[in-house]
Chains A and B, each alone.
Chain A
């Protein structure tokens, strides 16, 4: 008797869910991102796949196809391939936005929903995309600058820059705004190419050049690895702390553990590709307006909130 009842219940449940399946609309979303060629893009790939899996479990009618490409030419091909697979929406983090703008416009012109992530072409309006999810480069510098101004108002700071490209300049300008009006003094700015080994060398030379350094701002978690090693080798005790940025698991862990040298980290999260994917899905299933520009804050990660940004399984 009981078995029979349960059997009926099971059938009923199955019938209900199959109705739900039938009602769930079928949506295919293509995600085109750069191949994992360094820490940050490796994080992008990790989070794109993580969020895609999560969303497909929530929405049985949803299909997300993630494709990675090493350069603009192959990414243009990947976008075409995605379109022939009948996508309803494209989420794209371009390797280089300007060479890809025509490929993106093509998709948009065919009436698909386009979400652009992080890197914007020179003309970035609604003829190119419906949604733009961006990190905030000036704020990444500004938040770091304001933290240094508040914590050590008379600090002597050495700066390690990335590569000579616009993103780097925006971060520097933001930093200058952040420390404006304070007695924080910038001793030097040199390029470390967002690379651990180069940052190690630059830091070693800074330590030779300046007998007194209070704070290092190196804007990037990869470079912070080299900086910390150089300081440790020189056995210098004048450096109070290092401010990096991005949100790699290694540095977030240090913040979480209360490491004195890395008291904070400034977020420029590769997980923003997940934000764009979630919002695109909301456009189809949630019937909420998502078109426009969504800028992610450069959140200051401290010991209190670090666990929210810690992904131990991510490669970055």
Chain B
């Protein structure tokens, strides 16, 4: 708590010369507010165990949303990510079940490489359809959303695809349930992915091109930026992020079904927007995005831990809290 207040104070010192910082801090203020509400609702809420659970659970949406930050900053939209998770995860499990490599460790390594390649290929397909095919990203990815989902249903014959090798399962389980120096692995991976993404977006030429294309693609084109290449690469980054989310998803339940990842695309987009990235493109906030993903997961957790909210009203309450979180952010930004 105090950390957050300190950072708020720190930014208030600087706000005279830079109001951008306050905007970046706004999602964290909303998060702090939620933590207080949660602690009042149920004392168990603030326990390390519960917060670690929630942070770990938010890993899938957070990592996907980091990729979505690139796509949205470049002025595009990717609706296919939820289906893509199901599709890439199914392919990965089927690959491990086919048993071409006898050694479990080697097999797992190959499967990880395979999943990353599959994710990148799915992202590349989205990018090429959007840029070379010159189809609105909303429609292009709505199409691939159906394709990836349909292929998953077909691969699983409507049922579930389950990892069969108990040895690989044993070897792979720590990727979700294990921890490094007391930090659950998925949380460590969120931080690593976000740090890399922040570096790319804020510190490299490519990152600046993404923002330039997103704010005005015509101006970017006249300035000599290869707009289509920048957009396509953003979709590939999205695909890679989906693949990383899959690498964490598969060890959790060891199986996928036709309902895996349904509506995750909307959660990812919500996380990006709650995190302070504009849906119209031209500005990206990677750290805000993972804060947004955490807020979304936290809202569900608080609802469930509370004793006074009817299970029938949870959806309505979640919607209301997201809007309130956005209003808190807006009011902070306006004050600056």
Q: Is the CB of B158 within 8 A of A38?
A: yes
Kindly list chain B residues whose C-beta atoms are within 8 Å of the C-beta of A204: 53, 57
Contacts A208-B50, A208-B305, A209-B44; A37 near B311 (Cβ below 8 A) = no
Taken together as a complex, chains A and B put the C-alpha atoms of A164 and B252 apart, in Å, by: 27
Q: Nearest residue in A to B300 (C-beta to C-beta)? A: A201
Kindly list chain B residues whose C-beta atoms are within 8 Å of the C-beta of A189: 311
Contacts A190-B311, A196-B253; A208 near B44 (Cβ below 8 A) = yes
Taken together as a complex, chains A and B put the C-alpha atoms of A209 and B42 apart, in Å, by: 8
A177 on the interface (CB 8 Å rule)? no
B257 on the interface (CB 8 Å rule)? yes
Number of A residues with CB within 8 Å of any CB on chain B? 35
Q: Is the CB of A38 within 8 A of B259?
A: yes
Contacts A38-B259, A208-B49, A209-B42; A197 near B253 (Cβ below 8 A) = yes
Taken together as a complex, chains A and B put the C-alpha atoms of A290 and B107 apart, in Å, by: 55
Q: Is the CB of B158 within 8 A of A205?
A: no
Contacts A36-B153, A36-B158, A315-B157; A205 near B253 (Cβ below 8 A) = no
Q: Is the CB of B159 within 8 A of A316?
A: yes
Q: Is the CB of A36 within 8 A of B159?
A: yes
Q: Which of B37-61 contact A (CB under 8 A)?
A: 42, 44-45, 47, 49-50, 53, 57
Q: Which of B47, B162, B314 contacts A250 (CB 8 A)?
A: B162
Kindly list chain B residues whose C-beta atoms are within 8 Å of the C-beta of A191: 311, 314
Interface range on chain B (Cβ under 8 Å from partner): 20 to 34
Q: Which of A265-316 contact B (CB under 8 A)?
A: 314-316
Kindly list chain A residues whose C-beta atoms are within 8 Å of the C-beta of B255: 196, 225
Q: Is the CB of B252 within 8 A of A229?
A: yes
B48-82 toward A: CB 8 Å interface, digit per residue (1/0)?
A: 01100100010000000000000000000000000
Q: Nearest residue in B to A43 (C-beta to C-beta)? A: B159
Kindly list chain A residues whose C-beta atoms are within 8 Å of the C-beta of B47: 208
A239 on the interface (CB 8 Å rule)? no
Taken together as a complex, chains A and B put the C-alpha atoms of A61 and B15 apart, in Å, by: 85
B129-168 toward A: CB 8 Å interface, digit per residue (1/0)?
A: 0000000000000000000000001001111101000000
Kindly list chain B residues whose C-beta atoms are within 8 Å of the C-beta of A206: 304
A35 on the interface (CB 8 Å rule)? yes
Kindly list chain B residues whose C-beta atoms are within 8 Å of the C-beta of A164: 312
Kindly list chain B residues whose C-beta atoms are within 8 Å of the C-beta of A138: none
Q: Is the CB of B253 within 8 A of A315?
A: no
What is the distance, in angstroms, from B190's C-beta to the closest C-beta of chain A? 17
Contacts A36-B158, A196-B253, A208-B50; A233 near B258 (Cβ below 8 A) = no
Q: Is the CB of A315 within 8 A of B252?
A: no
Q: Which of A35, A161, A202, A226 contacts B158 (CB 8 A)?
A: A35
A72 on the interface (CB 8 Å rule)? no
Kindly list chain B residues whose C-beta atoms are within 8 Å of the C-beta of A66: none
B297-315 toward A: CB 8 Å interface, digit per residue (1/0)?
A: 0001100110000011010
Q: Is the CB of A225 within 8 A of B159?
A: no
Taken together as a complex, chains A and B put the C-alpha atoms of A201 and B61 apart, in Å, by: 14
Kindly list chain A residues whose C-beta atoms are within 8 Å of the C-beta of B259: 37-38, 195-196
Kindly list chain B residues whose C-beta atoms are within 8 Å of the C-beta of A78: none
Taken together as a complex, chains A and B put the C-alpha atoms of A167 and B252 apart, in Å, by: 29
What is the distance, in angstroms, from B332's C-beta to the closest C-beta of chain A? 30
Q: Is the CB of A39 within 8 A of B257?
A: yes
A62 on the interface (CB 8 Å rule)? no
What is the distance, in angstroms, from B152's C-beta to the closest C-beta of chain A? 11
Q: In the complex, which of the residues A41, A191, A196 has the most CB atoms of chain B within 10 Å of its own CB atom?
A: A196
What is the distance, in angstroms, from B86's C-beta to the closest C-beta of chain A? 11
Contacts A38-B258, A39-B160, A204-B53; A233 near B177 (Cβ below 8 A) = yes
Kindly list chain A residues whose C-beta atoms are within 8 Å of the C-beta of B277: none
Q: Is the CB of B312 within 8 A of A315?
A: no
Interface residues of A (CB under 8 A from B): 35-39, 41-43, 45-46, 161, 164, 189-191, 195-197, 200-202, 204-206, 208-209, 222, 225-226, 229, 233, 250, 314-316
Interface residues of B (CB under 8 A from A): 42, 44-45, 47, 49-50, 53, 57, 153, 156-160, 162, 177, 252-253, 255, 257-260, 262, 300-301, 304-305, 311-312, 314
**Could you write out 19 A-B pairs with CB less than 8 Å apart?**
A37-B158, A38-B259, A42-B157, A45-B157, A45-B158, A164-B312, A189-B311, A190-B311, A195-B259, A196-B257, A201-B300, A204-B53, A205-B53, A208-B49, A209-B305, A222-B160, A222-B257, A229-B252, A316-B159
If A191-B311, A208-B305, A222-B160 are given as contacts, then 11 extra A-B residue pairs at C-beta distance below 8 Å, sorted by A number, are A36-B157, A38-B259, A39-B159, A46-B157, A196-B253, A197-B260, A208-B49, A208-B50, A209-B44, A225-B255, A229-B253
